[in-house]
Amino acid sequence: MQCLIYPGKLWTRLPLLAGIVAMGTLLGGLPATGQTVFISTGDSAAFDDVPAFNLLEGDVAEVSFDSQPAWKIDTALTYFSKTMFASSENVDACHYLSPYHVAVSTAGSSYIGGVSLSDGDVVEVSYTVVGDTWTVDSAAKIYDENLVSGRDTDALYVLGTGHLLLSFDSSVTLGAVTYDADDIIEIVFHGNDDDGWVLDDHSLWLDGSNVFDEAANIDGFDRIAPGHVLLSTSADESITWDGGNETLTCLEGDIVEVEFDENGTVTNAKTFFPESLFVNGEDIDAITQIPEPATLLLLAVGAAGLLRRRR
């Protein structure tokens, strides 16, 4: 039998392949067909496939799942626990920064790690977990809701530039521009609690009216690549593209994967995570992933190649 990818030379690639597999394992398994996503839900939730696991509205869960041959949850773990808040709270936006280091917003006023928050604020939290004990190591407010008229942040992404991509739960007018609940806005700002917060710039990053058939509210968001995002909505919506030839129903507990061209027109949309995986239909209200796994894998391949050449 001939290997078509590496004809006649598979054995010379084995050290490289072993290196990739080893690095893949270090990076968290990188299953061949599965996906991992971090989510929060609007109410407490459970999965048929992982009956012992209970997800609370103030938690963020790390969920690994398969889409083939059928939708199935493989594992579900609490990644961020609501017990780190002073009182019961609902996380309604989150972004993975690094291991046990996240940015979150809550649905109401909250208190964590010595920081008081309003519903529009974003806090950066580093924490440790030992057994059932969750400890905040540091917490700092990284965005103040007063920068944008006190609007409740309900979806967030931290760009590498330090700019934020935010969605709010209601419309807001800044200068001559009105942003709606189904838009994602790039916010440029500086400042902190001590010397005040200053809004430097704002622009429409994703126009919800280009995505949804009717006015909607994006309540969860992650950026995969330029022109390629994950979205959830706060109610059941539909997305139509290709001149009306293609349509996708987006339930409040679904995560949908949407691709755009440079004009912001939808070129493809599909279900990434279906609400049907929950015991009862739930609303997903926060989405994040470990950023750019493709980049990490390329680094792993490069490192494995270097190791082999040095022998």
CB of 151 to Ca ion, least distance (A): 9
**Closer residue to Ca ion (CB): 19 or 285:** 285
Question: According to CB under 5 A, which residues from 153 to 172 bind Ca ion?
Answer: 153-154, 167
**Closer residue to Ca ion (CB): 92 or 124:** 92
Residues 225-264, mask of contacts with Ca ion (x by CB under 5 A): -------x-------------------x------------
> What is the rounded CA–CA span in Å between residue 106 and residue 289?
18
Question: According to CB under 5 A, which residues from 102 to 131 bind Ca ion?
Answer: 105, 119
| Cα Rg of the chain (Å, integer) | 21
Residues across the chain = 311
Q: Is the dihedral of CA 153, 154, 157, 158 positive or negative?
A: positive
**Closer residue to Ca ion (CB): 20 or 73:** 73
End-to-end Cα separation, the chain, in angstroms: 29
Q: Is 275 in the site for Ca ion (CB under 5 A)?
A: no
CB of 187 to Ca ion, least distance (A): 14
**Closer residue to Ca ion (CB): 110 or 300:** 110
**Closer residue to Ca ion (CB): 62 or 92:** 92
Residues 6+ apart with CB under 8 A from 59: 40, 78, 79, 80, 81, 82, 91
Residues 6+ apart with CB under 8 A from 52: none
Q: Is 183 in the site for Ca ion (CB under 5 A)?
A: no
Q: Is 89 in the site for Ca ion (CB under 5 A)?
A: no
The SS3 call for residue 171 is coil
What does the block give as tokens for 222? 């992650």
What does the block give as tokens for 228? 């390629």
**Closer residue to Ca ion (CB): 20 or 286:** 286
Which of 152, 222, 237, 257 contacts Ca ion by CB under 5 A? 152
Residues 6+ apart with CB under 8 A from 180: 171, 208, 209, 215
Query: Which residues in this chain contact Ca ion in the complex, by CB under 5 A?
Result: 40, 57, 90-92, 105, 119, 152-154, 167, 181, 217-219, 232, 252, 283-285
